[in-house]
Amino acid sequence: MKTYLGIEFGSTRIKAILIDERAEVVASGAHDWENRLDNGIWTYTLDDISTGLRDAYSKVAEDYKKKTGEPLTELGSIGISAMMHGYMPFDEDGNLLVPFRTWRNTVTAEASEKLSSLFGFNIPQRWSVAHLYQSVLNGEEHVKKIKSVLTLAGYIQWKLTGKKAVGVGEASGMFPIDGKTGTYDAAMVEKFDRLIAGKGFGWTLLSVLPEVLKAGDDAGTLTPEGALFLDPTGTLRAGVPLCPPEGDAGTGMVATNSVRERTGNVSAGTSVFAMIVLEKPLSRLYPEIDMVTTPSGAPVAMVHCNNCSSDLDAWMRIFMEFAELSGHPMKKPDLYDLLLKNAMNGDPDCGGLTSCNYFSGEPITHLDEGRPMLLRRPDSAFNLSNLIRNNLFSALATLKIGLDILLDENVRIDRILGHGGYFKTKGVGQKLLAAAMKTPVSTMETAGEGGAWGMAILAMYAVNGGGMSLEDYLDEKVFAGMKAEAESPDPRDVAGFDSYMQNYKQMLKTEESAVKNY
């Protein structure tokens, strides 16, 4: 049996999925991890990364052996994905020069503003080039030693193959992509190089950025050293082809079959982002909208919010603790289902409750830090269903601010698919997103597998695509006959969400004050 491996580094979990030639899951494994705040920087160490990768792989290999009775010695292909953006600069000896700066950091406001103005193109704070230029502005000593700049997915690809390359979707979160050439925008590259000319760094932008590849391109093979990096037991053989590594945005598009024009998806977990494949450019630059690409290079409008379910999860831990104290402990999935379903019985507008779900800064609302908080008036209907419903609304509120810009631009969307932990409880997250977007939202039976499954599909496409476009391959070879369940917006929920958003936008003034004073 030929199998294809997809591994995705999410914010809280590294997940590995092994599929067969019918795109069905053969085995899976996962490793839980958490970022850490080190000297004001959200980061994961290199040891965190390698340990997590090996643990997730060992679990998928163990699951495979348990189910088939055979060790996992060969693979048809491998695909690596990770949370997009961030900054990993290396010197000529391959040493990481500063701790990995993840997408979650909001410390590059000056660079973001200056580059956006220079390029006439929105450069969000979390983009790799914003981190690079902020390091220049800060006068950081490491900049002159830089030999390469990679993302997390690019780093893993390099360790496995020795090749510094990323997929075009991942690259589009590092530096703007020219849709005609399919690589970094040459005019903007020239502007950046002129900006740093005379500083004596000894490098140019193209000399340090990874090669850009499209879905289906050759992205190297697993070296003997790479095989041992992934599987220290030596069971896995070298020589396996790898597809271009992609970001979690790209794998979300693949996992929901949302790579054609006028399709879109919303991934909601620790962070939340919407990806809409455009049929024409937006009329102007919007600081709230990122312009990225699909894994095959088509233009995508991305609304990315750093914060989504963390505050909801924090409340759930409180209820989990209470359940244990009461002598009636509950399993986490059961607790979520119980409370989230009950939230649908709450008042449409959450009874006057409003939460800020910001654990970290949120560029869309121009906040560099977060202060999670719950606000209510003396006459608010403070009960359990409204409390949880409020947290569910809050998780989508900042996303809605960005999406409303696209609606005002008359961006046409034929279908939206939701995936991620926010949608696990059936009939809850899907209905609320439909209310927020005022459009039907679907989920697919594969959505629970998420980006790791999508990455495995890209790995399979790289060796089995046979010249087909990615769009056609997904339609004809992967999703043909696959069921999608749609939820239309309920007018009651739509009106409630609109009312909630008025309170939410007012609440942001209080959040701004809290960041300054608490």
User: How do residues 380-398 score in pLDDT, each as one tens digit?
Assistant: 999 999 999 999 999 999 9
pLDDT at 104: 87
**Is the pLDDT reported for residue 488 higher than 70?**
yes
In a domain, 247, yes or no: no
H/E run at residue 14: strand 13-19
Structural domain includes residue 12 = no
Q: What is the domain extent for residue 136?
A: 85-150+175-208
Beta pairing partners, 417: 265, 442
Q: Which two tokens stand for residue 401?
A: 């601010």
Band of residue 448 on the pLDDT scale cut at 50, 70, 90: low
Mean pLDDT, all residues of the chain = 95
Nearest to 471 by CA among 258, 287, 223: 258
pLDDT for 446 beyond 90: no
CATH number at residue 146: 3.30.420.40
pLDDT tens figures, 308-342: 999 999 999 999 999 999 999 999 999 999 999 99
Is the pLDDT at 421 greater than 90? The verdict is no
- What pLDDT digit, counting tens, does each position of 39-51 carry? 999 999 999 999 9
Q: What are the pLDDT digits (tens) for 63-117?
A: 999 999 999 999 999 999 999 999 999 999 999 999 999 998 989 999 999 999 9
With a cut of 70, say whether residue 364 has pLDDT above it: yes
Which amino acid would we find at residue 71?
P
Residue 474 located in a structural domain: no
Residue 141 lies in a domain: yes
Average pLDDT over every residue of 244-260? 92
CA angle (128, 243, 174) in 5-degree steps: 10
The predicted structure's pLDDT at residue 48: 97
Identify whether 93 is part of a domain: yes
Q: What is the DSSP string of 325-354?
A: HTT----HHHHHHHHHHHHTTS-TTGGG-E
Residue identified by tokens 């590259």 is: 189
106 lies in a domain?
A: yes
Query: Residue 481 has what pLDDT?
Result: 80
pLDDT, residue 447, reads 54
Q: Is the pLDDT assigned to residue 147 strictly greater than 90?
A: yes
Q: Are strands 484-487 and 441-444 parallel, antiparallel or unpaired?
A: antiparallel
Longest C-alpha distance within the chain, in Å?
A: 68
| Residue 186, domain member (yes or no) | yes
The tally of domains found in the chain comes to: 1
Separation of CA 417 from chain center: 15
Taking a C-beta distance cutoff of 8 angstroms, is the pair 486, 442 a contact? yes
Q: Tokens 């300054």: give the residue.
A: 516
**In the structure encoding, which two tokens stand for residue 90, read together?**
């290396």
Question: Is the predicted pLDDT of residue 38 greater than 80, yes or no?
Answer: yes
Q: What is the pLDDT of residue 407?
A: 87
Report the SS3 class of residue 57. helix
pLDDT for the residue 437: 92
Tokens matching residue 28: 């899976």
**Residue 369 domain-assigned (yes or no):** no
Whose tokens are 């679907």? That residue is 442
Please, are residues 450 and 30 in contact by the beta-carbon 8 Å criterion? Answer: no
- Whole-number Å distance between alpha carbons of 134 and 126: 11
For position 143, what pLDDT does the model report?
98
pLDDT tens per residue across span 169-208: 999 999 999 989 999 999 999 999 999 998 999 999 999 9
Average pLDDT over residues 352-365: 94
Cβ atoms 221, 77 nearer than 8 A: no
d(CA 304, CA 462): 28
